[in-house]
Structure 1
Amino acid sequence: MTYQKILVALDRSFQSETILKQAIAIAKPTQAELILFHALMFDGRNIDAYSGIYGQNVLSLSSSVQEHIETQTQEVESWLESCAQKVQAEGLPVEYSWRIGDPSSWIREMAKTCDVDLVILGRRGRRGLAEVFLGSVSNHVVHYAPCSVLVVQGKDVSESEES
């Protein structure tokens, strides 16, 4: 099967470089366009905790949230730009995008709106209760994407912690 447009979901983990290399290898024979994508999850854990029950810290919290989001988006933008340069160096057409929110939903949505032939993403190797409670982006995408999906297998979480 040949692919013309491939969505490459990257998460800034140790596995992203491998996923990008796989995508380039698959795209090269047909000069398929790569769309690099990252979902920036915002869960609020990395900001100052709200401590006033009467709203004393609302302005401070709002400012902290905004600064955190701006810092994260600048980092992601720069990182995706460097990934895109690697793809361009291989002579392939590339674009990149990022969104804030649930990766599963955004990858599925991007696959639909960009009319891609293939989604390539990684799997962190969570099993059992960790997968149940933390969710599985790859599992969701495999079941709900409107196109073929290639899941690049990662190390088991316990294996990578032992290394």
Structure 2
Amino acid sequence: MNSLEEKTLRTENIFSGKVISLQVEEVELPNGKTSKREIIKHPGAVAVIAVNDEGKIVMVEQYRKALERTIVEIPAGKLEKGEQPKVCAVRELEEETGYVCGKIEWLISFYTSPGFADELVHLYVATGLEKKEDAAQTDEDEFVNVVEVTVEEALNLIREQKIYDAKTAYAVQYLQMKKALENK
């Protein structure tokens, strides 16, 4: 056991839902004392930075009940059991935006909130976008508006707190940095 590791003594499953489960773990701390940890278990997710031929980012505007407001985000979604992240990324892009991509590349994976959740997001960059004839096929309980914005417009949406989630802010800043390096 490393000097910071917390040993799990007991796990109690509190809730198991469609997207997440919650468990409470009793842990032994590095100093030998015990404590409790509330942990959200998540199957993982993907997010897609989709850039069209005009250099615009394809995003979705969606109401988020947890926030009680609408925000603008990059397309994203939960991994299905056994699904490969790249396959999920292609599927989510098409379902949420109606676009298929000619090329999709993994950029990075990151934990969203490691203090209490194990959700791992796999971030991809999609290019060579082509709009399908039929409209996007979102889940039956998912309603989105597709928006296409420049990096500068996305930065304004961040300032206006219309882009207000970490994965999308990260994506916009990645594109801003990439653009700056290309213009050197």
Q: Same fold (TM over 0.5)?
A: no
Instruction: Name which structure has the greater RCO, CA cutoff 8 Å, separation 6+.
Output: 1
Greater percentage in helix = 1
The structure with more radius of gyration: 2
Q: Give the TM-score of the pair, scaled to structure 1.
A: 0.25
Greater percentage in strand = 2
Q: Give the TM-score of the pair, scaled to structure 2.
A: 0.23
